[in-house]
């Protein structure tokens, strides 16, 4: 079993930063620090992920960019 990364409390987690997540990467679920941004597989650079963070829930299932790589973001609060 792999050890979980060290997670420190943060009060503001913005797009393009690394965040604590739980993912299932072909095996058992694991805690990982992942880049927050929806970077599609066809993107040539990671910066495109910052422009895609505001996905509309009505069309989420239809858009090819949002079909894979889902994860659970660890948080204890949310403010919009």
Map out the domains of the chain as residue ranges.
18-73
pTM, entire model:
0.61
- Give the model's confidence band at 69: pLDDT under 50 very low, under 70 low, under 90 confident, else very high: low
The larger pLDDT score, comparing residue 46 to residue 67, is at 46
Kindly provide the b/e burial profile for residues 32-64, where b requires at least 16 CB atoms within 10 angstroms of the residue's own CB: beeebbbbeeeeeeeeebeebeeeeeeeeeeee
Backbone φ and ψ for 29, nearest 5 degrees, come out as: -60, 145
**What is the CA angle 54-56-62, rounded to 5?**
120
Write the CA distances from 36 to 9, 18, 39, 70, integer angstroms. Answer: 16, 6, 9, 12
pLDDT tens digits for 6-32? 788 888 887 778 888 898 878 888 888
């Amino acid at each position: 079993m792999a050890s979980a990364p060290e997670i420190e409390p943060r009060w503001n987690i913005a797009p393009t930063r690394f965040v604590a997540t739980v993912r299932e990467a072909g095996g058992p679920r694991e805690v990982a620090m992942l880049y927050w941004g929806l970077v599609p597989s066809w993107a040539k650079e990671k910066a495109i992920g910052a422009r895609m963070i505001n996905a509309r829930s009505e069309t989420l299932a239809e858009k090819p960019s949002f079909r894979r790589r889902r994860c659970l973001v660890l948080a204890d609060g949310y403010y919009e």
